[in-house]
Chains A and B, each alone.
Chain A
Amino acid sequence: MVELKQVSVVYGEQHALRRVSLSVEKGEFVFLVGATGAGKSTLFKLLYGELRPTEGEVWVLGQPLHQIKPRELPYLRRRMGIVPQDYPLLPRKTVWENIAYGLRAIGYNETAVRQRVAQVLALVGLNEQARQMPSQLSGGEAQRAAIARAIANHPPLLIADEPTANLDPDTSWEIIELLMRINLRGATVIVSTHNRTIVDRACQRVVAMDRGQIISDVPRGGYPVELDRLYASVML
């Protein structure tokens, strides 16, 4: 499903990723954890083709993203649900229109749009907020709207970059529960976070990153202790 082979990304002088290798199978739920600047967003951008690796290979859904033609990228992205870290809902459109917009942009007709938007709104529990503007939503609702938009096209792979950032613990857990529910319906989910409580509670595979490298990968673990030490220094 997802395979990184010895991938490095260099921004100018700085190494954002150093020879990272990672493999995610179909149906998995993976937490990507690490401090700010560890390289989580960079890794995600490689997965949806917004960034090309300086070295190494990136395979997603059987496609070589390190050498994909720009012309083919859109069709691969239609099979991925993407929730980027700074994912703004379009501010001048309602929740309903935000989701419909994406479907229209990839060629759904109006009947299919109406049907599909209703389905995903029900799935993420935003039926009530369908007609609201993004500014009227709480942080958790906005995240759920962004997730609804990402999964509207039934993607087999869902990538969410820090969907729990700036959310309180209960709301964070609601979001993770939603993502796990989507995972149970068959989608492979990769989600980055640095919320240790939810990682411990979810009991899923945890991949930990630090300064552009993967430092641990546990099949059913909690938050890695290595990171606690690192965090302590960051917090200070």
Chain B
Amino acid sequence: MIDRLRFVLQETRESLLRNATMQAAAISTACIALVLLGGAGMALYKLDATAQSLPSRFEAEGVLKMSAPRAQAQQIKTQLEAMPEVERVTLTPREVAWEQEKQKLANDVNLADLPNPLPDKLTVRVRDPQTLPAVSARIAQSPLVEEVIDSRKELQTVLEVSRLVRWIGLGAGGLLLLAALILIYNTVRLTIFSRQREVRVMALLGATLRSIRLPFILEGMTQGVAGGVLAALLVLLTAAFLSDYVVSQWPFLKDMPPGLPPLVVMIGLPGLGALIGGLCAWWATLRYVRI
């Protein structure tokens, strides 16, 4: 068993040492592809977590007209609370809002003498962010409502960035992955050609197809893993550097939710590399290793 393993590993090593340039090309392409995919994956994870944590996903504000009587406002509140999608409705009277505003700005400006410019405000919280547009539209229907701020703008931004990352990262990563697949396939194919004699000798001596193919498949997997390990290191270093930089520029972003755990990247990218490398190589052996 151990002798068997050693034999297979020796064969794999010989395959890998055959054409070093090709191996380097295959490994570095796999690495770049995995960097893009891994980077996109990490960014998407982070953006998704951020989007999830934004409170505004659940809330819309209805700003009432200045002329709206308090009793009518209460009535709208009751109507909205009756909707099944709505979790909670808060009515913030203009006096309360003005007090809060004055306190918030107390250090900067003195607003004490000014008349209250704020209207009454209804804050509606829904159970499912999906229903927010419908609920907003419903609030807007009331003639007493001046304006609906369903403050989804930040969310929209996050989602747009997400979409961009998805398109660029996954698109370019996917294309490069395809290039890596072709390169690994081709490298393994060339190794097979350069080892025709060994293949024939083994085949005529009665080695099974599986045992003849195994070293070539391991070769492909090794390329994938090597690319994956490099990619994981690059992605993690870049991410650490970037997040330090971002936080130093915009300290308030400190509260963002944590990103993908590094261990997942450290295992995931080489794993993905091994999988695709192995599959390509397996495919090449199916086509070119015959007995």
Contact = CB atoms under 8 A, between A and B. Distances in A.
Contacts of B197: 88, 90-91
A101 B204 CA distance: 12
A11 interface: no
B164 to A, nearest CB: 50
A110 B3 CA distance: 6
A107 B212 CA distance: 12
Contact of B208 (A74, A108, A109, A153): A74
Interface stretch (A53-61, A76-84, A135-143, A188-196): A76-84
Contact of B205 (A70, A78, A109, A113): A78
Nearest to A78: B206
A68 to B, nearest CB: 11
B216 to A, nearest CB: 14
Majority DSSP secondary structure for residues of B touching A? helix
B209 interface: yes
B198 A90 contact: yes
Contact of B7 (A48, A78, A105, A149): A105
Interface string A145-162: 000010001000000000
Contacts, number: 63
A96 to B, nearest CB: 15
Interface in B91-113: none
B207 A105 contact: yes
A22 to B, nearest CB: 21
A113 B203 CA distance: 18
Given A74-B207, A153-B206, A101 B3 contact: no
A157 B202 CA distance: 18
A160 B88 CA distance: 91
A27 interface: no
Query: Closest 3 CB pairs between A and B?
Result: A78-B206, A77-B206, A102-B205
10 contacts: A70-B209, A71-B209, A73-B291, A74-B209, A82-B205, A88-B197, A90-B201, A105-B212, A149-B205, A153-B205
Interface of B: 3-4, 7, 197-198, 201-209, 211-212, 291
